Every structure is written in structure tokens, then in C-alpha cells.
Amino acid sequence: MASKKTILLVDDDIDYLFQMKIIIEKFGFEIITAESQKEAEKIFDKTKPDLAIFDLMMENQDTGFILCYKMKRKYPDVPIIIASAVTAETGMQFGINSSEDQNWIKADLFLDKGIREDQLLKEINKLLKI
């Protein structure tokens, strides 16, 4: 039997973290959660997840970008999703559609929070090539 894929989920909103953990476990994945940049870095220093989902704004407005950068330096092959409510909260638009954006945003996918469960599963499966 193949082992379950592991997803690292990092968000400072514990309610969102709890809800997403339940949803992702329901999809059949193992999930590791962290509530801060420091906690996430401790986890990926010791464990290589198959995929990571980072909130953008945690301790700082760019915490998710920092985590992407650090994880990609250690594990360049691990797909990363940034899930954020930044557009709804600030009106700022982010994306990874241009090569310029991809150059400084080390994420593989940018999603607005509130994504439907079926769409999230589709995106995770696409990034994991399942």
C-alpha cells in the first residue's frame, strides 16, 4: 500500500487551520499544521512534506513569501500553495501569472481563501501529479 502524501499547512488563524485540517484529512492526506513562521521552519527543518499550503499574512505581511523562499531553497521540488484573504482584506492583487511574479513569489499556486473543497482537491492533486 502506498503511503499517504503529507501536506504542511501554516496559518495563524487557528479556526481556519482547524477547518482546513479536517477538509484535507477527509481528502485522504496526512496533515501537519503550524501557527507561525518559526513553528513551520522547525517542522520543515526535520520533515519534507509532499506539498505545503501557507497563509500570506501572519506575523508580517509577507510571512508566506518568506516561508516559500526558505522551503524552496531546502526542497525545490515541493509544490507550494499560498492561500490568502489579502485581496479581500486589502484590495491588493497577487498572482504568479508572469515570469516577473514567479521570480520573487516562490509559490506554485496562489489561491484566495474561501476556495471550494472540490476545487482545492483538484489543485492539490494537480500539483502532486495524482
pLDDT above 70 coverage of the chain, percent: 82
Q: How many domains, the chain?
A: 1
Q: Are the C-beta atoms of residues 121 and 27 closer than 8 Å to each other?
A: yes
Query: Rounded to an integer, what distance in angstroms lies between the CA atom of residue 91 and that of residue 77?
Result: 31
pLDDT at 120 (0 to 100): 92
Closest Cα to residue 34, out of 51, 17, 57?
17
Query: Which residues are CB-contacts of 70 (< 8 A; sequence separation ≥ 6)?
Result: 41, 44
For residue range 21-79, what is the model confidence (pLDDT) as tens digits? 999 999 999 999 999 999 999 999 999 999 999 988 777 777 888 898 999 999 999 99
Establish if 14 belongs to a structural domain: yes
Higher pLDDT, 91 or 112: 112
| Per-residue confidence (pLDDT) for residue 1, from 0 to 100 | 41
What is the pLDDT, as a whole number, of residue 98? 47
Q: What is the side-by-side strand order in the sheet with 80-84?
A: 30-34, 6-10, 51-54, 80-84, 109-112
Cell numbers given for 55: 497563509
Judged against a pLDDT cut of 80, whether residue 114 lies above it is answered with yes
20 found inside a domain:
yes
Read off the CATH number of the domain in which 106 is found: 3.40.50.2300
| pLDDT exceeds 80 at position 105 | no
Q: Is residue 1 part of a domain?
A: no
Residue 76 belongs to a domain: yes
For residue 48, the enclosing domain spans 6-128
Is residue 77 one of the residues assigned to a domain? yes
Across the chain, mean pLDDT equals 84
Is 0.85 surpassed by the pTM of this model? no
Q: What is the DSSP letter of 13?
A: -
Task: For residue 119, count CB atoms less than 10 angstroms from its CB and return exposed for 0-12, middle for 13-18, buried for 19 or more.
Answer: exposed
Report residue 87's pLDDT band, with 50, 70 and 90 as the boundaries. very low
Q: Is residue 114 part of a domain?
A: yes
**DSSP string for 80-97:** EEEEE-HHHHH-------
**In contact, 56 and 87? CB cutoff 8 Å:** no
User: H or E segment at 31?
Assistant: strand 30-34
User: Would you state the pLDDT for residue 115?
Assistant: 85
